[in-house]
Structure formats: C-alpha cells, structure tokens
Amino acid sequence: MKQKGPRLGEPASLWRMRIVPIASVMFASAVPLMLPLIANSPVLPPLGLLFFLCWQLLRSEMWPVWIGLPLGLWDDLFSGAPIGTAVGLWTLASIAIAYSSQRIYWRGFLHDWAIAALLIAIIQSLAALITHPQADTRLVLGLVVPQIIISALLVPLFMRLTGAFDNFRLKRR
Amino acid sequence: MVRPAHRRPGQSRKAQYSLFVAYVIAVTGAVAGLLLAILSVVDPVGFAQLRVASQEITAPIARVTRSVTGSLSGIDDSVGAYVGAGTQNRRLRKELAETRRQLVATSSLQEENRQLKALLKLQETDKTALANGYLLTSTSTSAKRIALLSIGRNLGVAAGQPVRGADGLIGRVLTSGPSVSQVLLLTDVDNIVPVRRARDGLPALASGRGNGDLDVRTLNIANNPFKPGDILVTSGTGGLYPPNIPVAIVVRRQHDGALARPLADPGKVDAVAVLRPYTPDNIEAQGRPAPAPLPAPASAP
C-alpha cells in the first residue's frame, strides 16, 4: 500500500533535524554583519558561539566533536578575528563539553550555565589575545570583559531559544 | 541531564573506531586551526580575499537594513563609558547626550544635507578623493574593528587607501572585494596614525585602544605637553595618510601621553571619501600639470 504525504505523528524529516541546528549557528555568526551597526568596541555577544555551546549542552550526542571545524571557519569569516581562531577554540570547547558530560553524572541547569560562561570567557579572551598579539595584554582583555559578562548573563536566554529551535526540529507531523 | 549513554560505544569495533577517528579529526583540526590563526596574524593578506568574499554575501542584507533603519550608534558608547568609569567619563556621556539631543532637534534631512555639502566642498578642495561611499556595517563581536564599505574594486578602491568622513579620518582600506571593501577603523588596536598637534605641529603617534578612544604618545619629549582640547591632525609622515586631515581631540592627560577621542565617529558619519594613499608617486602626480599629449610618431614606414 502506497501512501502519499506524511502520516500523522511521523517523526520530522531527517533534513530538518540536521539542518536546523547548523543553520541557526551559521545565521547567528553572520547576523552581526547584516545589522547597520558600526561598533567602537565589541558590543554584541558572540551570537554564533552562544548557539554553538547551547546546542552542545542541550544535545550532547547530536554532533561529532569535529563540528567546530566547519562552523568555526564560518564564524571566522565574519567575526574579524584571524581565520583559524574559532576553528581551533570552538573545537577545543566541543572536546571540553564532551569530557564534562562524561564526568558530571547529573548535569543541571546551573552546571550548563557555568560551563557555557566559563567556555565563553576562555574563548573570547584567547581570541582577543590571538587577534592582537603585540598589544598590551591588560588592554586587550579589558576590551572583552564587558562582552563576556553580557554573554554569561545571556546564556539562559539562548538556552531557551535553542530549546525552542529543538522543539521545532523534532516536531512530529 | 543524565549522562549520555552512547559515549562508550560498548563492544562494537566499528563504533569504537568511528568515535576515535572523530576525536583524531577534532584534535588535528583544532591544532591546525590555531596554527592557521597565528599564520594569518603574521600574514594578514593571505586570507583577506576569502573573508571579503564571504562578506559580499551579507553586504546586500546590510544595505537593506541600513536603508531601512539608518545607522545604529551609541550602544557601544554607553557600554564603553561604564568600563572606563570615572568623572571624566560621566561628563563625556552628559556631553554626548546633549549633542544627541541637538542632533534630534536638527532634522535628519538637515544633517544629511550638511554632510553632503561638506563632502562636496572636500571634493573640490581636495583632489585626492578617489570615490565616495557609505559605511554599511562592522564587526561587533570580536576585538578587531573592521567596517564594511559599500564600494569596492568596481570604483577603484584598493588596499591601503585612507578613508575619511566630513569630520575627520575614519581609517584605511584593508581589503577590497568586487563590490564591498573592508576598512580598518582608526580605533583598532593595530591602527597607528602619525599625527601632529594642529596648534604648533608637535609630532605624535595615535594608536587605537579598541574601545573608541585613542592613545596619543609624543615621539621625543619627556614631559607631557598635551592639554585637553588639543586638536590632532595627520602629519603625512610615513606616507599612507595625507597631511592635515583632522584625527582626534585630546580629552585627558595620561602618564605617558594623552587620551583622545576621534573627531569623526564612524557610527554617525554618513558618507565617507576614499583618498589616494600619500605616496611619492601620488604627490608628484598632484604637483605636476596634466601631461602634454604625446607627439605623433615621427616616422611611419
């Protein structure tokens, strides 16, 4: 018996399940360069990185650990940091999340928040230091501190957003 | 969240290998990425074309959002004022608010009119302008201050050309793509501009702090000669930037120089002009009258 169209309650298509997370990270990486904002300092939180970390904390099994390579390369094209910075740092973050999800047996919301905030702080600081290797270290770190604080406070919001995207991703027909 | 069950792939050799391979790829890739990053700091030209090509993708959207909303500005100003908190900063913010109130009072049309007029005059007096464009958008998530200019190689923009607005220097072109180009703003940490004090020609170097302000250091004098309110203009030393473009105004003395604010705020400036770099060839070309037409070939077989 051949059936046309989706059946009621059938799982979402494989394409949608795969594309939604990747597309959300890629769009979030590129969106700062679509806004008519000429910034004098790093004012926006690293949106792509926030989504990247939240997806991995929410669905630790979804992506292989090397997913930071292509997504980081895409982010590097738009962030202004030297190409390769996010490729390296995001992948190390994936490995750190994979490790932490093996170590911490019952990971709660506060754990997720702390892990995300810590990783953002490390990644943004290192990225700034790689971008300006000759400059005064204190000056460079001072640039990203406000951004790190804002990003850390925004993590719960991005968790919610990621959750909403996840519901859409897995929504049955 | 419960610990995921599938990380330990059990007895399946295939699953074990594929997990192992994923980690090998990730670690190799991460190391290669960081090496690449160091390489592209050392040689920034190598990957610049790749980046400007990718920004051709977002440029059309930036053009649309810019035309719809105009340019957002001031968000980072208030954030920056909090960071460097102090009485001086508070006073600056008050000044900024007043200025903005005045700006609102003036209609946007008048503002645009003024800038276009100023730019027209600039074009007449200054023969070095190559092309005029708009700043579309900028990087806002990293420590690098790069803005996207709405014109590229199609109008003769090339790397190394200085960019100025009606009020003062904006920066220099980093890379030019087919229809957009990247501008390294004056306030970037890596952007160093040779300047002199407009009043007496005291030479100094201005370098960005990355948060919208500039550090100014003198070249030779031990005691600190700067006073708040000093205007700095480009000196033309070292080529690249033509002399006498307004750069910044000193707001505070520091122990080894002064803190200055750029005169042209890239967030508020509307139209910008791309200039010819101040190189010996260009200086000669300006000073010389137009070349005489070539004489006809003397002999024809």
Q: Compute mean pLDDT per 10 residues along chain B, 301 residues long, and list them.
A: 58 83 91 88 74 82 75 55 69 82 66 69 59 89 90 89 90 90 91 88 89 86 81 86 89 87 85 86 56 43 40
Using the Cβ of B74 and the Cβ atoms of chain A, whether some distance falls under 8 Å is answered with: no
Q: 3-class DSSP state for residue A70?
A: helix
Interface test with A, best of B57, B142, B148, B175 (most A CBs within 10 A): B142
Cβ contact, residue pair A132, B190, below 8 Å: yes
Specify the pLDDT at position B184: 92
ipTM above 0.90, yes or no: no
Cβ contact, residue pair B55, A78, below 8 Å: yes
Neighboring chain A residues of B174 at a CB cutoff of 8 Å: none
The answer to whether the beta carbons of residues B278 and B236 sit under 8 Å apart is yes
The pTM of the full predicted model, rounded to 2 decimals, is 0.79
Cβ contact, residue pair B69, A36, below 8 Å: yes
Helix (H), strand (E), coil (C) string for B47-66: CHHHHHHHHHHHHHHHHHHH
Beta strands B169-176 and B181-185: pairing type? antiparallel
Cβ contact, residue pair A80, B144, below 8 Å: yes
Indicate the residue type of A106. Answer: W
Cβ contact, residue pair B3, A102, below 8 Å: yes
| Residue predicted with more confidence, A8 or B173 | B173
Using the Cβ of B255 and the Cβ atoms of chain A, whether some distance falls under 8 Å is answered with: no
Dist. CA B275–CA B89, nearest whole Å:
33
Of A33, A88, A131, which is closest to B144 when you measure between CB atoms?
A131
Neighboring chain A residues of B30 at a CB cutoff of 8 Å: 68-69, 87-89, 91-92, 95
Interface subset of B 81-110, CB within 8 angstroms of A:
82-83
Using the Cβ of B15 and the Cβ atoms of chain A, whether some distance falls under 8 Å is answered with: no
Q: What is the pLDDT of residues B248-298, one digit of tens each?
A: 999 988 888 899 999 888 888 878 999 988 877 766 555 544 444 444 444
**Distance (Å) from the C-alpha of residue A7 to the closest C-alpha of chain B?**
30
